[in-house]
Amino acid sequence: MASLQNSPTIHRTLFLNSFLHKHGTFHSCSRDGISFIVKAAQLPPATSTGSLSQDRSGRREVIAIGTIAPLVFLLNQNSYSFAAESKKGFLSVSDNKDGYSFLYPFGWQEVVIEGQDKVFKDVIEPLESVSVNLVPTGKQDIRDFGPPEQVAETLIKKVLAPSNQKTKLISATEHDIEGRAYYRFEFIAQAQNYTRHALSTISIGNGKFYTLTTGANERRWEKMKDRLQTVIESFKISNA
């Protein structure tokens, strides 16, 4: 067990009250320090003797697939399932219980963080992560909360970044995917010793308000932005 202090993926574990309380649908809290447990790595199928080098030359050790892969299928099989690699460099995860799916970069590890439904992160670059949050709502459409820019600004300041960080919304757009409205937005959160460049997507379905956020250290943004964009664009809500 380790302690993850001031992680940009957790703060704001659903401190949505200030934004959504007036709608009478959200009750939540935030924490500055949350414990987490690293789960077994999620790896694509391989032979028992095969091994796979991580994509960062000189920075990752070779992982013995035959030792780790069987553990993948022991993790919460009833709640969600991991599919085979569906796009080069990515793995997919589908949560059948809560009704959503998305892709994440190969090599990221799953961690358990209180208040988050699902989190995957890079153990070498901790600011590179993706997290999924969901809370009940009586609303049927994300547009009921306002236009993309307004909703994004509020979520960034109240939920997605600590109050002591300077934030800047870069863009916010609306997308229709199979008849469901999604908001996607890009923003920067500047702390004292780092700046995180992030992407989020939000939507409503199955009586829940879904938030998926991914990002990276600003110094690695140019290298990571295409992969993070793939994560955001892959997020999809299904009927639970």
Domains and CATH numbers, the chain: 2-39+75-237 (3.40.1000.10)
User: What pLDDT sits at residue 166?
Assistant: 97
Sheet holding 236-237, edge to edge: 80-87, 90-95, 100-105, 236-237
Q: In the Cβ-directed half-sphere of 157, how many Cα atoms lie within 13 Å?
A: 10
What is the bridge-based pairing of β-strands 100-105 and 51-52?
unpaired
Q: Where are the beta strands (DSSP E) in 55-205?
A: 63-64, 80-87, 90-95, 100-105, 109-113, 118-121, 129-136, 166-177, 180-190, 195-205
How do residues 189-210 score in pLDDT, each as one tens digit? 999 999 999 999 999 999 999 9
What is d(CA 98, CA 54) in angstroms, rounded to the nearest whole number?
A: 31
Q: How is the chain split among helix, strand and coil, in percent rounded to 5?
A: 20, 40, 40
Helix or strand holding residue 37 (H, E): strand 33-38
* 97 has pLDDT over 50: yes
Whole-angstrom distance, CA of residue 81 vs CA of residue 161: 30
Give me 12's structure tokens. Answer: 């704001």
Confidence of residue 20 (pLDDT cuts 50, 70, 90): low
CA angle 165, 124, 157 (to 5 degrees): 20
Asked whether 91 and 44 are in contact (CB, 8 A), the reply is yes
Q: What band does 32 get if pLDDT is binned at 50, 70 and 90?
A: very low
Q: Count CB atoms within 10 A of the CB of residue 32.
A: 12
Q: How far apart are CA 214 and CA 37, in angstroms?
A: 19
pLDDT of residue 95: 96
**H or E element in which residue 224 lies:** helix 221-234
Task: Return the structure tokens found at 16.
Answer: 């949505």
Query: Residues 121-176: pLDDT tens digits?
Result: 999 999 999 999 999 999 999 999 999 999 999 999 999 999 999 999 999 999 99
What the block records as the tokens of 73 is 């299928």
How far apart, in whole angstroms, are the C-alpha atoms of residue 172 and residue 186? 7
pLDDT interval class at 16 (50, 70, 90): low
- Mean pLDDT for the chain? 76
